[in-house]
Chains A and B, each alone.
Chain A
């Protein structure tokens, strides 16, 4: 029985790896993607193009402009001479922020009355606008504090002292790169497994497989193992790139991380085989994988927090294995978590894996006899 099984597994690996194009497709793109997406996936604004429209040109106004110029995230791309220049500049997305200092700014500042400064922000990218607005607020707040200190105003009675745990510089790359590990592992595992049975069905070789002495459970195992092992190898490679190249700190326990990865791959393989056993053609298999993968990524908390979703949608995320794995990845990487904290994330993945594998094996049999 073992030799039979080994032969089947060997055959599955051959089917996957013998075509040079398939081989390349399994190894190269995930690494390239990790590199490209690792640099691209970030909500941090590092380069905010802004324009100054200064009608006053007094000392106070120049100081305020200098405060913006001095902020590392801001890059002044235009200095305007008239109000009419604002609209085309913002419309064409050449600037995100326009700071408009009125003609009486310096004079009003010296009287001590609150002096308005108008800031226009392009809201097409709502998140960039929100972050840009926060940056503008903190620049103006610092300017106000320094002005009061120089002109003898009273300091506010309370001040905020903010610290961020686990990610002191609030780099969103540290948040996304562990997530990319999960996303890419899911994509590869699903693609490998979702097409295996469908391909044999389409080419008619599945019938031949069925008349061999192999039992359904053995066929299932033979189909499941290659996807699982490829996912494991790929996951390890990506993990190495994340820690050695991107220098994301890996603080927690590696065994806990690998237990998570194994259970996650198990559930990915299970769902992939389930889709594959339902599909009649490869196109259906691929589309089925897609119909599962896209919501699985979107609802996993990869880019947008689950806590922001409506309650009903939050309930749906409970059947998404990636949701649990992302928590594990981030907790192990950044918070240094071990097994004790991760138990609530581990068992749902095991449950999803076991259920989908059982269903897939039932479908194998069901479609056979």
Chain B
């Protein structure tokens, strides 16, 4: 008979990693969150979400229709930014604005044609629905653009030159057409990896605590560090798969340019994944209960990654206190890196400090998990 061996550390680890993978494969919801969820989110964001308003519904009111008012309205109708229609009276237009059928009203008074020829000029009254402030501001910008074009065209038609002392030449770098998809899709890589890294891991570890299987594991020769390592290896692999899928779809399906180096992106993504895994393990070790772990993971990682990372909302415009809080959000550093790597290229001034922050946070979370899980078992 062979002497009873306790097996080498490598063998034990292999066994643990195998166990994790079996658990992942056997619960379809893990696969769903690692592969279906990224696909689903990308398609949702890539096709569904857009900050670019076009065909804004506008009501046009001319109290006394004249060739001049027709001419001005034609400049609005010609633009793809608007979906205008003519309304007889101002009160009818106001009713449509209240009912949400139009976003804006352009109103010309009865003496519009006459005032146009006076030195003071004619007022054009514009009313926008301000509830959605962002769309309201974009609509205002579009109307101003149409107004400027109309003035220039009108002056040219009369053989005059419209006097514009300063002529703006705006160059938009990195995203010249200002497509919001190019801005949102790279940030999604960070959101999706937060889901896999933090949410899934938090649940998995909490489940072992809740069911008592962790204690069962610990009476075997495996050490706590090996259990943690087994989980990290399994979910790191899963997360890397999710990352590759997302980046691939972003580039090939949505045509977002990847200006920087893919390998640099890989390295930074791995750092971020480690930090997210660390966060997930910390949460589950502290909560030890799937309900609480799930709540904390959503509230503490997913929502901040969504709202406080610079993914949608500009961090510089937040109040100082909130800006300080964003420094605690791991996704913030990675969002800055992916947006730059995708659209601008390998800008070391952005990549290095953020990568360093990711490294520090990963180390911090692993340290907390390590010390907490040891202490609470004794």
Task: Name A's B-contacting residues (CB within 8 A).
Answer: 19, 21-22, 25-26, 29-30, 33, 36-37, 39-49, 64, 88, 90-93, 109, 112, 114-131, 133-134, 136-138, 140-141, 143-144, 147-148, 151, 153-168, 170-172, 174-175, 187, 191, 195, 199, 281-284, 286-288, 290-291, 294-295, 298-299, 303-305, 307-310, 313, 327, 330, 334-335, 341
Contact = CB atoms under 8 A, between A and B. Distances in A.
Contacts of A140: 166, 168
Contacts of A160: 123-124, 126, 143-144, 147
Contacts of A116: 166-169
A26 B344 CA distance: 42
Q: Looking at chain A's contact residues, is the secondary structure mostly helix, strand, loop, or mixed?
A: helix
Given A115-B165, A125-B314, A137-B141, A120 B131 contact: no
Interface string B281-317: 0000001011110111011100100011010111011
Given A22-B289, A40-B313, A134-B138, 19 more contacts: A91-B349, A92-B350, A123-B174, A125-B339, A126-B178, A127-B183, A130-B141, A134-B141, A165-B130, A172-B132, A175-B134, A191-B291, A288-B29, A290-B199, A290-B298, A298-B49, A299-B44, A334-B131, A335-B98
- Tell which of A41, A47, A164 has the most Cβ of chain B within 10 Å: A164
Contact of A283 (B30, B37, B154, B336): B30
Contacts of B166: 64, 109, 114-117, 140, 143-144, 147
Nearest to B191: A294
B137 A131 contact: yes
Contacts of B170: 119, 121, 133, 136
A156 B162 contact: yes
A45 B318 CA distance: 9
A305 B135 contact: yes
Nearest to A28: B299
A161 B123 contact: yes
Interface of B: 27-30, 32-33, 37, 40-41, 44-45, 47-57, 72, 97-100, 116-117, 119-138, 140-141, 143-144, 147, 151, 154, 162-176, 178-180, 182-183, 195, 199, 203-204, 207, 287, 289-292, 294-296, 298-300, 303, 307-308, 310, 312-314, 316-319, 321-322, 325-326, 336, 339-340, 343-345, 347, 349-350
A330 B131 contact: yes
B313 A33 contact: no
A148 B166 CA distance: 11
A287 B134 CA distance: 32
Contacts of B326: 40
B153 to A, nearest CB: 12
A36 B173 contact: no
Nearest to A35: B322
Nearest to A286: B294
Contacts of A195: 290-291, 294
A117 B116 contact: no
Contact of A281 (B27, B119, B125): B27
Contacts of A172: 132-134
Nearest to A115: B166
12 contacts: A91-B340, A114-B164, A123-B175, A165-B130, A167-B131, A187-B303, A199-B290, A294-B41, A307-B53, A308-B51, A309-B50, A341-B99
A91 B343 CA distance: 10
A37 B307 contact: yes
Nearest to B184: A126
A126 B183 contact: yes
Contact of A157 (B121, B130, B350): B121
A157 B133 contact: no
B180 A309 contact: no
Given A134-B137, A187-B298, A148 B171 contact: no
Contacts of B49: 298, 303-304, 308-309
A307 to B, nearest CB: 7
Contacts of B72: 158
Contacts of A112: 163, 165
Pick the 8 closest A-B CB pairs, nearest first. A167-B130, A123-B175, A164-B130, A92-B349, A172-B133, A123-B172, A170-B133, A126-B183
Contacts of A166: 129-131
A308 B53 contact: yes
A335 B199 CA distance: 39
B298 A162 contact: no
A313 B48 CA distance: 6
